[in-house]
Amino acid sequence: MYKNGFTKIEILIIAAIIGVLGITSVVAVMTARSRTRDAVRMSDVRQIQAGLELFFIDHNAYPESVEATALGTPTTGCLSEQGFSSNCADGLYLEAVPSTPTSGLNQLSSCSDRSNAYCYFAENGNYRISFELEHDNPLIGLVKGLNCATESGLESGACSSLLISASQ
């Protein structure tokens, strides 16, 4: 006599296949999200660099910063004639300074009592912006962890003249 339906083994095999497909898709989505956050971080840093270059054209200098300053906070919300400040009324170079997406980071880029920040430091006509990525980006030579933006571009690794520690 022929029975209709599935055997227990067939059901277990189908459940296992569905489970593997589900796990694979979740991992793919999580990786895509973290890579998207990295793309946003790199875009933010490029936007800040563009604003700094506009500031430099008008002032022949970058905004001074005696110590590492966290960008995108209420006190550094825009880039105006006074540099990074909360006064966004006059001469705007960057109307809204972005803050970093904090998900997925290891708090390597910390300054001004803020972890997971874009940290700005300027001295002697040069600037450094420290930022953290979740993944390597071999196309532009950046690594997972700390990276640095300077007036000459993006560099892998920690900024040379900007001391950053996770314990701050």
Residue 79 located in a structural domain: yes
Say what the pTM is: 0.79
Long-range contacts of 34-39 (CB under 8 A, 24+ apart): 34/103, 34/104, 34/134, 34/135, 35/134, 35/135, 37/101, 37/103, 37/104, 37/134, 38/133, 38/134, 38/135, 38/137
Total of domains in the chain: 1
In a domain, 152, yes or no: yes
Cβ(51)–Cβ(76) below 8 Å: no
Q: Which long-range contacts (CB under 8 A, 24 or more apart) does 92-95 make?
A: 93/51, 93/52, 93/54, 93/55, 93/58, 94/47, 94/48, 94/50, 94/51, 94/54
**Residue 165 located in a structural domain:** no
| Residue 162 lies inside a defined structural domain of this protein | no
Residue pLDDT tens, the chain, 168 long: 567 778 889 899 999 999 999 999 888 888 888 899 999 999 999 999 999 999 999 999 999 887 888 898 888 889 999 899 888 887 789 888 888 887 778 778 878 677 778 999 998 889 999 999 999 998 889 999 999 999 999 999 988 864 444 333
Question: Tell me, what's the pLDDT at 165?
Answer: 40
Structure confidence at residue 160 (pLDDT):
80
Residue type, 149: A
pLDDT at residue 127, rounded to an integer: 94
Calculate the CA dihedral of residues 48, 53, 54, 60 and round it to 10 degrees: 140
Q: Say what the pLDDT of residue 161 is.
A: 61
Return the residue matching tokens 């880039």: 79
Distances (CA, A) of 114 to 57, 79, 109, 134, 168: 30, 19, 9, 18, 8
Q: Is 167 part of a structural domain of the chain?
A: no
> Within a domain: residue 29?
yes
Q: Is residue 164 part of a domain?
A: no
Single-letter amino acid code for the residue at 105: L
Domain containing 25 equals 8-156
